[in-house]
Homo-oligomer: A and B are copies of this chain.
Amino acid sequence: MPKPTIVEVARLAGVSNSTVSRCINNPEKVDRKTLARVRKVIEETGFRPNLLAQSFRRGRTDIVLVVIHNIGSSIFSDIIDGIRGVLGDRYSIILMESRSEEQGHSRFIDLLVARQVVGVILLCSSPPFSRKLVELDNFPRLPVVIGLEPISEDLASLPSVHIDNHQAAFDATRYLLDSGHREIMFVSGERGSLITQDRERGFVAAMAQAGIADGAARILHAELSIQGGIAAAHRLFGRETRPTALFCANDDIALGVMSVAPRFGLAVPADLSIMGFDDTIYAAMANPPLSTVAQPTRDIGERAARRLLRAMERPDETPAGTDELAEILPHRLVIRQSTAPRLA
């Protein structure tokens, strides 16, 4: 048997389509008896409105798109929990990996332009996305909020929720300096992203404040992954002068470095202190447990979702008008056993 439509329900209940529609969407506007009768028919027939038709007719869905870099990264898990907690009941959340865009399987723009989604939370604002979004600005504004990563230049007008990456990198570097280290290097992320730049400036500033002027020369770029960390370690430990402390742009890089260190005769933290970033669940599992910079992931998700909610509910309101464009959340140094005072 074919799926029942609203027409069929109306016929069986002896009312008009309009009334059935109201029973679904505005039950308070319907007479109690009518409502009961219609609901009974809906129950009996197993009718469910065709969401495709509904969305089409209304010109909007109730789907929020959350873009992450890749699903393998555990840091997104908490953020998305936060998002779901805020958006959960009213909106569906679909996930998209920005990675897939890079691979050329691009549905992103289709989703947006076709108004298949009502809002977007960008948990990564890497170049391919930002450019595409900007190219879209001749289309009606779609609410977009950036979480986790600070905005790229392209997206400077969008609201965002993230930590102060400059300060976080400054604090982490400062901690290593205070532990007596001088030969510190920063294994940073991919060149060019704003988040990377922020952190690099924080690193350089902390080094400069400690009287080390060539901070910028002590920055290495790596892919933000275990592989990236391993590759960086090989470049790093092959040199004549080795650092005594390493600050890494994320925990995966730090774990990669840590796995390679023994092969170069380096013990962590005796010979080499390592500091990560993100405080993923694997940081605490490392041996030795990894010191790192924690971000309030769940909170980032919740706040990003709240801002998106506001933007979706009041599309007329200029985001800049409400409050600060960027919402800055506190970070926290988590000191474990991968860092230690420099041996004299």
Contacts and interface: CB of A to CB of B under 8 A. Distances in A.
A293 B281 CA distance: 21
B71 A95 contact: yes
A279 to B, nearest CB: 13
B71 A116 contact: no
Contacts of A284: 259
A92 B76 contact: no
B76 A71 contact: yes
B226 A50 contact: no
Q: Which residue of A89, A255, A285 has the most chain B CB atoms within 10 A of its CB atom?
A: A285
Contacts of A105: 84, 88-89, 93
A16 interface: no
B46 A56 contact: no
Nearest to A227: B281
A284 B225 CA distance: 13
29 contacts: A3-B139, A48-B114, A50-B56, A50-B115, A51-B110, A52-B55, A52-B59, A52-B61, A52-B114, A53-B56, A72-B74, A72-B76, A72-B77, A73-B74, A74-B74, A80-B97, A88-B104, A89-B105, A92-B107, A93-B100, A93-B105, A95-B95, A95-B96, A95-B97, A226-B285, A256-B285, A259-B289, A282-B285, A287-B287
